[in-house]
């Protein structure tokens, strides 16, 4: 881990321990110009952000529950690998994806336990095109691993708490 990455990871851990997970994720988001960051989980064919931060509306703490195939997180879950797109409207892989006109940019990594079971995804996303290269995938993977192995990933949230219609 290089020096900048080590510092960013340490900042995340200190914020998580001294404040909370949402505040720590907001700190990661500040390293980019993305609007949203979240941890998404899957249950019974649905996906929901168990932690959600919106840079433009920081008081909104939830996102809308959606069918699991209506998120780009499904690609992370299917492959167990990071997935990113700078602009879903011109990404041929997403030509038939239901969210491609609403969520244009996505960069996500798997959150998995020590057995390799995917618990969810950690992702940056936005409603306008963004450069996913600004997201440090190594940092995201380190954070995702730390969260999963440390038992910091909240359980699936119910649709009753839905607040923001943006979905990754």
- DSSP per-residue letters across 25-46: HHHHHTTSS-SEEEEEEEETTE
Question: Burial level of 166, CB count in 10 A (0-12/13-18/19+)?
Answer: buried
168 within a domain of the structure (yes/no): no
* Number of domains composing the chain: 1
Q: What is the pLDDT of residue 164?
A: 43
141 within a domain of the structure (yes/no): yes
155 within a domain of the structure (yes/no): yes
167 within a domain of the structure (yes/no): no
User: Which pTM value belongs to this model?
Assistant: 0.92
Write out pLDDT tens, residues 95-150. Answer: 999 999 999 999 999 999 999 999 999 999 999 999 999 999 999 999 999 999 99
- Domain of residue 87 covers 3-161
Q: How many CB atoms lie within 10 A of CB 68?
A: 18
* For residue 6, pLDDT beyond 70: yes
């Amino acid at each position: 881990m290089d020096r900048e990455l080590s510092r960013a990871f340490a900042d995340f851990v200190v914020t998580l321990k001294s404040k909370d997970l949402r505040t720590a994720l907001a700190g990661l988001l500040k390293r980019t110009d993305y609007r949203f960051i979240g941890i998404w989980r899957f249950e019974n064919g649905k996906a929901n952000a168990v932690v959600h931060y919106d840079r433009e509306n920081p008081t909104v703490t939830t996102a809308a529950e959606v069918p699991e195939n209506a998120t780009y997180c499904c690609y992370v879950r299917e492959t167990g690998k990071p997935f990113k797109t700078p602009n879903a409207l011109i990404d041929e892989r997403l030509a038939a994806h239901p969210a491609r006109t609403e969520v244009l940019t996505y960069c996500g990594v798997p959150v998995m336990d020590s057995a390799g079971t995917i618990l969810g995804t950690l992702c940056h996303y936005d409603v306008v095109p963004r450069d996913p290269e600004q997201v440090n995938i190594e940092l995201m993977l380190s954070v995702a691993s730390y969260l999963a192995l440390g038992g910091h990933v909240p359980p699936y949230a119910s649709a009753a708490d839905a607040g923001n219609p943006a979905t990754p």
